Amino acid sequence: MKPILLLLLTTSAANAQRLWTAADQRYTVDNLRRTRNDLTREVENLTDAQWHFRESPERWSIAEVVEHLGTWEIALPAKSAKASETHPAPTSHLS
């Protein structure tokens, strides 16, 4: 599931410097729908024990991962919009 988030963040960052075309928007929305549907299929038949199982105290359960993804699904559009309004910081101070 981490690659999904990475794809979304990379796509958002790459497109923050230009206006999204209709094809960009369609591609992103289609992939969001596809990954949401794939995730739903993967977890819909899990038992309560599977849903809340943790390999160790430091690891997240499937329920926590899905909740996190749901939170980001809500937050990402606002963060992407905010990022597209700002200009990148100059990198001249980096040597």
Please list the pLDDT of the chain residue by residue as tens digits (95 residues).
455 555 555 555 554 556 788 899 899 889 989 998 999 999 999 999 999 999 999 999 999 999 998 888 787 777 777 776 766 665 555 54
Helix/strand/coil for 93 = coil
- Whether 66 is in a domain gets the answer yes
Q: What is the count of structural domains for the chain?
A: 1
Q: Which domain holds residue 58?
A: 53-82
| Position 42 in a domain | no
The Cα–Cα gap between 50 and 32 comes to: 25
| Residue 7 belongs to some domain of the structure | no
Question: Residue 1: what pLDDT?
Answer: 47
How far is the C-alpha of 40 from the C-alpha of 33, rounded, in Å? Answer: 10
Q: Which residues of 20-46 are buried (b: 16+ CB within 10 A; e: fewer)?
A: beeeeeeebeeeeeebeeebeeeeeee
Q: What are phi and psi of 55, to 5 degrees?
A: -65, -35
Q: Measured at the alpha carbon of residue 38, what is the angle toward residues 66 and 67, in degrees to the nearest 5?
A: 10
The size of the chain, in residues, is 95
CA distance 70 to 63: 11
On whether residue 29 sits in a domain, the answer given is no
